[in-house]
Each structure stands twice: as C-alpha cells, then as structure tokens.
Structure 1
Amino acid sequence: MARLNLLEETRYEKLPVTVYPDQRTASVTVAARIAKLIKAKAESGEKAVLGLATGVTPIAVYAELVRLHKEEGLSFKNVITFNLDEYFPMQPNAAQSYVTFMNENLFNHVDIDKNNVHIPDGTLPQEDVAEFCLNYERLIEEYGGLDFQLLGIGRTGHIGFNEPGSAPNSGTRLVTLDDLTRSDAARDFGGKQNVPTKAITMGVGTIFKAREIILMAWSQKKAPIVKKAVEGEISGEVPATYLQLSDNVEFVLDEGAASELTRFDTPWLVKDCVWHNLLKKKAVIWLATNVRKPILKLTEDDYNNNGMAQLAVEQGPVYDINIDIFNQIQHTITGWPGGKPNADDSQRPERANPAKKRSIVFSPHPDDDVISMGGTFIRLVDQGHDVHVAYQTSGNTAVWDDDVLRYMEFAIDFAESRGDDSADLHKVYDGMRSFFAVKQPNQIDTQEIRNVKGFIRKSEAIAGARFAGLPDSNIHFQALPFYETGKTQKNSVGDKDVELTMELLQKVKPHQVFVAGDFADPHGTHVVCFNIVLKALQRLAQTEEWVKDCWMWLYRGAWHEFKTYEIEMAVPLSPQEVLRKRNAIFKHQSQKDRPVFPGDDAREFWVRAEDRNRETARCYDELGLAEYAAMEAFVRYKF
C-alpha cells in the first residue's frame, strides 16, 4: 500500500527523485555511494571511472570524500576521473579554471595519481579542439566507460555545458555558452564581460553512457528548472529532460530544489492532505488564481474540478472556507507596520503597544533597506517610531573601478581649491590608475581602493537613510568582518560578526527587527547576514528580558518576493509613497544604470522593486481585496 501511495504522489515525475532535508545530508549520502563504488572496484582489482562536475553544487560531496580519505582511509589510487567541462579559453592556473577548482576541492587532498585525472584543456588553439574532443571520448571508452557520472543543473537546464539546443546524442565538443549561464558566472569573473563565451563539454550522449548518473540540485533557486527537468516534456530547450530517457539516472535534491515539484507544491493534486491552515490558504489562493476568480466567488464545482474535493468535504461548505481565507488575507493588510496605537490588534499583524516602538532594519548591503522595504521604512519614521538602520557590510566589491577614480579626482580638486597640499592624494591616485591598468578579473583591490569603494557605498547609504528621515545617530555601519576579504568569496562567519550584532541590538533593545529574508540572493550575503542576526538574538534571549518582546520580520524585494499565501504583513503604498521610495533608491548612484553584480535580472533595482510591489498589490486585487498602487510584504520569523 505504501508503494502504491508513493507512486500516486510521484505520478507527475518522469524519473526517480530522492529528496533530503538539506544539501549536507544529501551530499554525504552521495559521497558514500561513490566511496562504496571505489572500494568495490578496488576489491576486484579494477579501476573506478568517475565523471565529475564542478560548481557550488558538488563541493560538499568532495569535502566528504576528502574526509573519508583522511579519517577512514578511503584510497583514490584506483580512481580514474573525467571532468565534464572547462571554459574556453582558460589557463589551468586561473582562479576560475575547473583545474583549479578540482585541485582545491578534491585532488590536492587525496592520494589520486594526477596522471589519472582528465579535464578538458582550455589552452588549446581552437583548431585543435575537435581532435582533442575525439580523443577525450576514445580515452573514456578505453577505460571501459564511466561507472558513475555526477551532475549539477544550470538554470538554463544545461548538464555539463550542454546548453539549450543540444542534441541527445551529442559528444564532447566546443560550445557557445548561454547568456544566462554567463550571467550566473559573472561574480566569479568580476563581471559578465570577463566570462568566456565558449566551453569544452562532454556531450549528452557521453553522459548517457555512464552506468550510474546522479544529478544534484540545491535551493529554491533551482526549483523551477528542476520541475521542468523532472515533470516537463522532453525538449532540447531543457537538455536535462533528456535524462528522462535513461534507466540509470536519479535526481538527488534538497527540500528547496524539490519545492516546485507537484507532490510538494500542490500536493492536493496527487494525494489526500492533512489540511493545516497554511496549506489550506495556499490551496485556496492557488485555486482562485487557477480559475481566475476572486476568492469569494469560488464554487463547489471549482473545488471538485481542481483536485480540492477533499478540502470541500472535510471543511466545507466551500463558502465558509472562502470567507475564512479571505479574512485571513484581509487581516495581513496594514498601514501601520509599527502597530496602530489605541486599536484592537487582535486581527492586526503587529501589536498596538507600545505605541512608539524601537525598530531596527538590518540591511545586508548598503541599499537593501530602501530597495526592499523603503516604503515601510519611511512609514515607520513618519509614524513616530524610533527607527534605526544597520548596514551589515560595506558592499565595497560592488563599485566600478572608474567610480573610484572619479571620487579621487573630486577629492584632489577639493583639496587644491582650499590651497591644501594634494601631493599625497596625487600619489595615491596615480597608484590606483596604474593598478587598474593591469588589474585581472576578480583580482583583489588594494586596501586604499577598497576603502574608497566602501566610502562611496557609505555616503550613498547615509543619503538614503537621511531621505527616509533618520537622524545620523540612528545610522549604523557594522562592516562585519566576514565580508571584508576584498574577494567575492567571503570568509565564514565568526564570533566577531555575531558579537558586533549583539552589541548593537543590546544598545537599541528593539521591539521590531527587520531582516533580509531573500535567500535567493545570488551572492549569498543575505542568508549569511540573516543567520548572524538570528544567532545574536538567540544568544541574547538567554539573558536579556527585552528579547521576549522583540519580533523579527523578514523582508524581500531585491531578488524575489514572498508568495501571497506566505505573507503575514502587507503594507500598502500610495503612488506618492512609491515615488518617495524610488527617490530613496536613487541615492545609491553607484548601483544605478548598470550595477557590478546585477544577477540575471536586467532591470535596474528601483524598477525591480516597483514591479514586485505592484505585482503583490495586483495579486491581492485579483483575489478580491482592495486595490492599491503597490505593497511591501513581510513574514514574521519566530526565533
């Protein structure tokens, strides 16, 4: 019976999928499978031939294999490896090279014979690449084919660098990279303009010949493409769908990457559900959107014809369900994000008391506050709350080099206009120009350049916070140590990061804390900064009484927005308030027009923010609630 139930739940899935609670658990499991294969081959006197992937996805797998080697004696002496791909052209000692990646994450830490390591050669003359690719295929065949192939998946649906349009029988070859793939790699190269346009990759046909194929994917960022690969029609537009034709493949996912699969996203379509309130709210909103009706106009036929008959039977009549969900959504709307004084707060998202709250907005980068919750930020100030803002990082990697020269030229002209000696400034300026003339992609700036870039972001943040109405005493710059590496790859969070945050929280003793909850941030800074605040509050809660009355609100906006069913506080913005928010964002001039790290969204940040805020308001309107120009959304996090 359990087997039949599982088949029913997964009937939309066209290949085997295993979901783990987190990527760490999944990675350890995959590493154990690889280790078992290596040991079995060694016991029979054979070589284990592994196809290996690069990128963020397999890093934890390689870390576990290194641990197994160092702590449990796993030997790689009988292992032959073939990597999926390499950028072209690419020097093997470059920081972005997959040779460097594999050495740093695996090969330099185990006892593998480097003669058994094979990675496509990014240094070849282009006219020699075709012959190299044929030899790469022949070499794999000479070793008896791949025993195991490890894969990730790109947001274009590529496996290896088999981009949309790849043929299912394709072999190892030189390919042109998709624009989205290059955008995703931009941070590693110090800008998209530095990302190679081509790569050498194993073909889909080569991958297919492996006796075991594991594709891994982590986080909600990968959920949309995972759904297409697992449940979609086979298409060259999504090369990963070709894996549906293999009998030897398994997708290994964490809960985030699996979140848009039917059995998790709309489970009422495949099984009977336990209808807790959040699931009921999600289902009714989904139904209203699916049939294009306001919630209060949904009928029993709508429920029955769209997989929700169980809910109608168990908790109906459906009109009562509609009213309940409508009221719940209605109660999320408030023009008083700090709570409405002297009002019944039993149906409001925030408390009425104290009437004047101490609020602190934590902004991972110096512009996240106004981009993501600028309207609410201004509203809190206007309504008389004691509002603080904490800029957690300097954001000094996200400033163009020519902006540094422009500000230095301003400083020199200002000094000379006062009759001050500018010789030292000229010396620093000349050194900066010389450095920029030979600077390599992603090369760490000098400390003086990093300082100037940080000053630029700091001055913009002050201007934005002042525009929102904050006094200078309530503007805090933390410059958390984990960020100040000068590199796009940051250090791990340390106690100092948490201690600095605890000191600020202890100083303010806030009733409200607003924290970035946009964990789809492609740079990863948002989730790191969230965890720092969370750890700080959890530690303080052990000794500080005020923490019991402190509520944490998550905001989004720079990259994604909360789903309508998730929203617990929706702050409507008038057209005038939308304009005020836009002007606050405009204070961040270094991030306008073309930011250094825009992600895969070509729109400017102020346009993204307005579009998302208008979309949230439109969703509420289409569900039958009041129509507003825009809305900022929040979810309460109970720590």
Structure 2
Amino acid sequence: MARLNLLEETRFEKLPVSVYENDRIASKKVAYRIADIIKSKDRRGENTVLGLATGATPIGVYAELIRLHKEEGLSFKNVITFNLDEYYPMQSKAQQSYVRFMDENLFNHIDIRRDNIHIPDGTLKKEVIADYCLAYERQISAVGGLDLQILGIGRTGHIGFNEPGSAPNSGTRLVTLDDLTRRDASRDFGGKENVPTKAITMGIGTIFKAKEIILMAWSKKKAPIIRKAVEGEITGNVPATYLQLSDNVEFILDSDAASELTRFYTPWLVKDCVWDASLIKKAVIWLSGKVNKPILKLTEEDYNANGMAQLVTEQGPAYDINIHVFNLLQHSITGWPGGKPNADDSQRPERSKPTLKRSLIFSPHPDDDVISMGGTFIRLVDQGHDVNVAYQTSGNTAVWDTDVLRYVEFTIDFNQSIGEDTALLESTYEKMRKFFEKKQPNDIDIKEVQNVKAFIRKSEAIAGARFAGLQDKNIHFMALPFYETGKKVKNPVTKNDVELTMKLLQEIKPQQVFAAGDFSDPHGTHIICFRIILEALTKLKETEEWTKDCWLWMYRGAWQEFEMNEIEMAVPLSPQEVNRKRHAIFKHQSQKDRPVFPGDDEREFWIRAEARNKETALNYHKLGLANYEAMEAFVRWKF
C-alpha cells in the first residue's frame, strides 16, 4: 500500500527523485554514495571512474569527501576523474578556471594521483579542439567508462554546458554558451562582458554512457527548471529532460529545489491531504488563480473540477471556505506595521502594545532597507516608532572603479580649495590609478580602494536613512567581519559576527526586528546575514527577558517576493508613498543606472522594487480585495 501511495504522489514525475530537508544533508548522501562505489571497487582491485561537475552545487559533496578522506581514511589513489566542462578560452590558473576550482575544492586535499585527473583544456588552439574532444571520449572508454556522473543543472536546463538545442547523442565538443548562462556566471567574471562565449563540454550522449547519473539541485532558484526537467515533455529546449530516457538516473534535491514539483506545490492533485489552515489557504489562492475568479466567487464545481473535492467535502460548503480564506487575507493588510494604537489586535498582524515600539531594521547591503521595505520604513518613522537601521555589511564590492577615482578627485579639489595639503591624497590617487590600469576582472582591490568604496556606500546609506526620517544616532554600521574580505568569496561566519549582532540587539532591545528574507540574491549575502541574526536572537532568548516580546519579520525586495499564501503582513502604499520610497532608493547613486551586480534582471533596483510591490497589490486585488497602488509584504519568523 505504501508503494502504491508513493507512485500516486509521484505520478507526474518521469524519473526517480529523492528530496532532502537541505543541501547539507543531500550533499552528504551523495558523498556517501561515491565513497561506497570507491570502497566496493577497491575491494575488487578495480579503479573507480568518476564524472565530476563544478559550480556551487557540488561544493558540499566535495567538502564531505575531503572529510571522509582526512577523518575516515577514504583513499582516492585508485580513482580516475573526468570533469564535465571548461570555459574556452581559459588559462588553468585563472580564478574562474575549473582546473583551479577542482584543485581548491577537492584535488589539493585528497590523495588522488595527478595523472588520473582529466579536465577539458581551455588553452588549446581552436583547430585542434575537435581531435582533442575525440581523444577525451576515447580516454573515458579506455578506462571502462564512467561509474558515476554527477551533474548540476543551469537555469536554461543545461547539463554540463549542453545548452538548449543540444542533441541527445552529442559527444564532447566546443559549444556556444546561452546568454542566460553567461549572465549567471557574470559575478565570477566581474561582468557578463568578461564571460567567455564558448566552452568545451562532455555531450549528452557521453553523460548517458555513465553506469549511474546523479543530478543535484539546491535552492528555490532551481525549482522552476527542476519541474520542467522532471515533469515536462522531453525537448531540446530543456536538455535535462533527455535524462528521462535513462534507466540509471536519479535527481537529488533539497526541499527548496523540489518545491514546485506537483507533489509539493499542489499536493491535492495527487493525493488526499491533511487540510490544515496553511494548506487550505494555499489551495484556495491557487484555485482562484487557476479559474481566474475572485475567492468569494468560487463554487463547489470549481473545487470538484480542480482536484479539491476532498477539501469541499470535509471542510465545506465552498462559501464557508471562501469566506475563511478571504478574511485571512483581509486581516493581513494593515497601514500600521508597528501595530494600531488602542485597537483590537486579535486579528491584526502586529500587536497594538506597546503603542510606540523600538524597531530595528537589518539591511544586509547598504540599500536593501529602502529597496525592500522603504515604504514601511518611512511609515514606521511617521507613526512615531523608535526606528533604528543596521547595515550589516559595507557592500564595498558593488561600486564601480570609476566612482572611486571621481570621489577621490573631488576630495583633492575640495581640500585644495580650503588650503589643505593634498600631497598624501594625490599619492594615494596615483596608486589607485596604477592599480586600476593593471586590474583584471575579480582581482581583489587594494585596501585604499576597498575603503573608498565602503565610504561611498556608507554616505549613500546615511542619505537614504535620513530621507526616511532617521536621526544619525539611529543609523548603525556593523561591517560584519565575514564580509570584509575584498573578495567575491567571503570568509566563513565566526562568533565575532554573531557577537556584534547580539551586542546591537542588547543595546536597542527591539520589540520588532526586520530582516532580509529573500535568499536568491546572487551574492549569497542575504541568507548569511539572516542566519547570523537568527543565531544571535536564539542565543539571547536563553537569558534576556526582553526577547520574549521581540518579533522577527522577514522582508523581500529586489530579488523575489513571498508567495501569496505565505504573506502575513501586507503594508499598502499610496502613489505618494511609492514616490517617497523611490526617492529614498535614489540616494544610492552608485547603484543607479547600472549596478555592478544586477543578477539576471537588468532593470534598476527601484524599478524592480516598484514592479514587485505593484504586482503584490494586483494579486490581492485579483483575489477580490481592495485595489491599492502597491504593497510591501512580510512574513513572521516563528522561533
């Protein structure tokens, strides 16, 4: 019976899928699979042949393999590896090369023989690449083929660098990269214009010959393409769908990457559900969108025709369900994000007492506060709350080099105008110019440049917070140590990051904390900053009485928005308030026109934020609620 139930739940899925709570658990499972293959073949006196991938996805797997080697004696002396791909052209010692990636993340830390490592050569002359690729295929065949190929997946659906249009029987070859693939890689190269347009990759046919194939994916960013790959029709437009033809493949996902699969996103379509309040809310909102009707106009026929007969039978009639969900949405809307004074707060998202609250807004970068919740920020100040803002990092990697020279030139001119000696400034300026002349994409800035970039972002953050109504004493710059590396890849979080956060929390003792909850930013900074806040508050809750009355609200902004069923507080903005928010964002001049790290959305941050806020308001209206100009959305973190 259990097997039948599982088949029913997964009937939309066209290949085996295993889902784990998070990427750490999933990565360890894959590492153990690899270790078992190595040990089994070692016992038989055979070599293990592994197909390896690069990028963020397999890093956890490699870290666990290193631990197994160092702590449990797993040997790689009889392991032969073939990497999937390499950019072309690419020098092996370049920061972005996959040779360097594999050395730093695996090979330098294990006992593998160097002549057993094979990675496509990005330094070849173009005219010899075709012969080289044929030889690469022959090398794989000569050692008995791949025992296991691990894969990631790109947002185009590419595996390796087999972009849309790749043939299912393709072999190792030189390919042209999709524009989206190059945009996704732009941060590693200091801009899309620096990303190579071509790569050498194993073909889909090469991958198919592996005895086992494991495709891994983590995070909600991968959820849409995972659904296409697992549940969609086989098509050259999504090369990963060809894996549906293999009998030896398994997708290993974290819960976020799996979140749009039918069994998780709309489970009522595949099984009987336990209809708790959150699932009812999600299902009714989904149904409203599916049949394009406001919630209060949904009928029993709508429920029955769309896989929700069980809900209306158990919880109906339909009108009662509709009213219940409509009221939940209505009660999430408030013009009083700090709580409405002297009001019944039993059905409001925030408490009415204390009437005036101490609110602390954490901003991972110096502009996330106004981009993501600028309207609410201004509303809290206008309504008399004691608002503080804390900028967790300097954001100094996201400033153009030309801005550095411009600001230093201004400083020199200003000092000269008031009779100050500028000799040291001019010397520093010349040092910067010489550095920029030789600087390569993603080179670490010299300390003087890092400082000026931090000063630029600090001055902009102060201007934005002042525009929102804050006094300078309520503006805090944390410069958390994990970030201050000058590098794209940041240091691990340490107790210093947490202790600095705890100290600020103890100083302010807020009743409200706002933190960035959009974890799809391409920097990865948001989720790191959120985890630091969470650890700090969790530790304080063990001993500090004031934390019992401290609520944590998550906001989102430039990168994504909460699902409608997740939103617990929606703050409506008038056209005038939208305009005030826009001008607060404009104070961040270094991020206007074209930010250094725009992600895959080329629009300016203020345009993205307004579009997202207006879309949230429109979604509420489509469900049958009032038609506001824009809305900022929040979800409360439950400890």
**TM-score scaled to structure 2, two decimals?**
0.99
Distance in 2 (alpha carbons) for counterparts of 1:73 and 1:480: 37
- Secondary structure of the equivalent of 2:303? helix
Deviation at 1:98? 0.6
Distance in 1 (alpha carbons) for counterparts of 2:29 and 2:533: 31
Q: Is the counterpart of residue 358 in structure 1 residue 358 in structure 2?
A: yes
Match of 2:577 in 1: 577
Match of 1:242 in 2: 242
Match of 2:216 in 1: 216
Match of 2:501 in 1: 501
Q: Deviations over 1:368-401 (max 9, x none)?
A: 0000000000000011111010000000000000
Match of 1:117 in 2: 117
Deviation at 1:343? 0.9
Match of 1:15 in 2: 15
Query: Where do residues 382-421 of structure 1 align in structure 2 (5 Å cutoff)?
Result: 382-421=382-421
Deviation at 1:414? 0.4
Match of 2:559 in 1: 559
Q: Deviations over 1:310-351 (max 9, x none)?
A: 000000001000000000000000000000101111111001
Q: Deviations over 1:80-109 (max 9, x none)?
A: 110000011111111211111111111111
Match of 2:172 in 1: 172
Distance in 2 (alpha carbons) for counterparts of 1:535 and 1:69: 31
Deviation at 1:469? 0.4
Deviation at 1:565? 0.5
Distance in 1 (alpha carbons) for counterparts of 2:275 and 2:133: 55
Q: Deviations over 1:24-50 (max 9, x none)?
A: 111111111111111221222221111
Distance in 2 (alpha carbons) for counterparts of 1:549 and 1:40: 56
Deviation at 1:194? 1.6
Distance in 1 (alpha carbons) for counterparts of 2:540 and 2:478: 18
Deviation at 1:197? 1.2
Match of 1:266 in 2: 266
Which residue identity does 2:4 align to in structure 1? L
Which residue identity does 1:235 align to in structure 2? T
Distance in 1 (alpha carbons) for counterparts of 2:564 and 2:106: 43
Deviation at 1:512? 0.4
Match of 1:204 in 2: 204
Match of 1:313 in 2: 313
Q: Percent identity?
A: 77
Query: Where do residues 275-354 of structure 1 align in structure 2 (5 Å cutoff)?
Result: 275-354=275-354
Distance in 2 (alpha carbons) for counterparts of 1:177 and 1:34: 30
Query: Where do residues 393-542 of structure 1 align in structure 2 (5 Å cutoff)?
Result: 393-542=393-542
Distance in 2 (alpha carbons) for counterparts of 1:581 and 1:552: 22
Which residue identity does 1:129 align to in structure 2? I
Deviation at 1:537? 1.1
Q: Deviations over 1:620-639 (max 9, x none)?
A: 00000000000000000122
- Secondary structure of the equivalent of 2:571? strand
Query: Where do residues 153-172 of structure 1 align in structure 2 (5 Å cutoff)?
Result: 153-172=153-172
Structure 2, unmatched stretches of 5+, are: none
- Secondary structure of the equivalent of 1:38? helix
Distance in 1 (alpha carbons) for counterparts of 2:318 and 2:569: 25
Q: Deviations over 1:459-515 (max 9, x none)?
A: 000000000000011000001111000001011111111111111111111110000
Match of 1:594 in 2: 594
Deviation at 1:23? 1.2
Distance in 1 (alpha carbons) for counterparts of 2:90 and 2:252: 30
Distance in 2 (alpha carbons) for counterparts of 1:368 and 1:310: 43
Which residue identity does 2:179 align to in structure 1? D
- Secondary structure of the equivalent of 1:565? coil
Deviation at 1:448? 0.6
Match of 2:549 in 1: 549
Distance in 2 (alpha carbons) for counterparts of 1:632 and 1:506: 28
Distance in 1 (alpha carbons) for counterparts of 2:501 and 2:43: 53
Deviation at 1:288? 0.3
Deviation at 1:156? 0.9
Which residue identity does 1:350 align to in structure 2? E
- Secondary structure of the equivalent of 1:37? helix
- Secondary structure of the equivalent of 1:598? coil
Match of 1:108 in 2: 108
Q: Deviations over 1:266-300 (max 9, x none)?
A: 00000000001000000000000000000000000
Worse-superposed segment, 69-78 or 452-461: 69-78
Match of 1:64 in 2: 64
Q: Is the counterpart of residue 34 in structure 1 residue 31 in structure 2?
A: no
Deviation at 1:360? 0.7
Runs of 4+ in 1 over 4 A off after TM superposition: none
Distance in 2 (alpha carbons) for counterparts of 1:606 and 1:113: 52
Distance in 2 (alpha carbons) for counterparts of 1:35 and 1:509: 49
Distance in 1 (alpha carbons) for counterparts of 2:570 and 2:71: 51
Deviation at 1:190? 1.9
Match of 1:181 in 2: 181
Worse-superposed segment, 104-113 or 224-233: 104-113
Distance in 2 (alpha carbons) for counterparts of 1:177 and 1:594: 23
Deviation at 1:186? 1.4
- Equivalent residue pairs, number: 639
Worse-superposed segment, 61-70 or 1-10: 61-70
Question: What is the aligned-residue RMSD (CA, Å)?
Answer: 0.8
